[in-house]
Amino acid sequence: MADLIQTLTSYLHKENEKALRRLEQRLQEEGYEPDFFGEVKPYVDEFYPKKDEWQELCKQWIKEEKPKYIAPNQIDSTEENLNNVVLQSFYKDTKVKRFKQMYQANKYVLESILTYKEKGNESI
């Protein structure tokens, strides 16, 4: 379970970063409109199951290992924020300030989990 959590957390961290870059790119493209069924839906269909699996595994891991600074509500918030960040990154009319706040919150939790998994409870 521990290796899978680390693998999924790394994947979600990379996807969070990709979402930021994608939004930045979309904001610079004149007249860009995403193809929902050709671009957005296939991406989300691949992303969401991994994110959902990560959420369940992390909640189970928190119950078992009781990390000091990672709580189940952070996992739930991160899951919801990841939904929003990935989906909104395809659209130019996204509220950038709110997007970046969610991105930063995701980054903090995901990096905290990765640090914990690498170094243990005293590291975060």
pLDDT at 88: 96
Span 26-64, pLDDT tens digits: 999 888 889 999 999 999 999 999 999 999 999 999 999
Query: Would the pLDDT of 68 be above 90?
Result: no
Tokens of 39: 């671009």
The CA distance from 76 to 96, in Å, is 22
Place of tokens 């939790």: 109
Query: Would the pLDDT of 124 be above 70?
Result: no
Q: What is the mean pLDDT of residues 94-107?
A: 97
What's 110's DSSP letter?
H
The CA distance from 5 to 105, in Å, is 18
Q: Could you give the percent of the chain with pLDDT greater than 70? A: 96
Q: pLDDT grade, residue 20 (50/70/90)?
A: very high
pLDDT at 123: 47
What does pTM read for this prediction?
A: 0.91
